Structures are given as structure tokens and as C-alpha cells.
Amino acid sequence: MGRSSAAPTTRRVAPTRPFNTAAGTYGVITGGCSNLVGGGSVNFNDDCNDTNFGVDFASVTGGDGNQANALDGSVTGGEENTATGTESAVSGGALNVASGGLTAILGGVAEKLSTFEDSQAGSTVFTP
């Protein structure tokens, strides 16, 4: 019996508050931060908006060729959609780009949204 020459494994310390909680037996969270599946109330973690996390908490769910490349960015389905603005989202469609902070595109083809807090459904833009 000899000693292993493999390097010791490092363990990450869990945050004091969880980033996501799936409390239901079959509940699933596919990314993001401070999300909750099941009963109770959301316990928002301040780290979710800390820009030191870079592209952490970004998520892509389904589709093909999609990219979420910003803090809290999200793409849900569709084809070749991109979310590059902080807390931006694209849901469905194809070739859409949400590059402004807090922007959201719902469907459409080749739509681009870069103005802070604007939303768009297909070719119709909504401003706050």
C-alpha cells in the first residue's frame, strides 16, 4: 500500500445563502441566481448583481447555437440568439441580440435591442 501521488482536491466553500433552491421533489432550476422552485419566499442574494462575478448566473435553456454572455443573461430556446447585456434575455426566435442592460426580446428574427430597459416582442419595441 503506497501513498497516492495525486494532488489533493480543493473544496469550494458554499455561500452562506444559496444561489438557487429547488425545494420540490422534481423541481429544476437551469441557471440564474436567487431562484426558487417550490413554496416559500425568495431570499435574494446580493451576489447575484455583483459584477465581479462576470458572466456567472447566465443561462441557456434549449434551442441551438444560443449564447448568454453577461451577468444574469438568459436565452430560452430558439436558434443563434445572444444575450450580452447585464440581466438581458432572449426567448425564442432566431438571430436575436439583447445587448442593453435589462433588455428583453420575445421572438422575432434578427432583432437587436441595445437601449437600457427596453423590451421587444417580434418587431414591436416597448419602452418603460
Q: What is the chain's mean pLDDT, rounded?
A: 85
pLDDT attached to residue 48: 85
pTM of the predicted structure, to 2 decimals: 0.77
Q: Domain map of the chain by residue range?
A: 20-126
Give the span between the Cα atoms of 85 and 73, in whole angstroms.
7
In order of 70, 74, 114, the CA distances from 38 in angstroms are: 27, 21, 34
Minimum mean pLDDT range among 13-22, 38-47, 87-96? 13-22
Average pLDDT on 18-42 reads 85
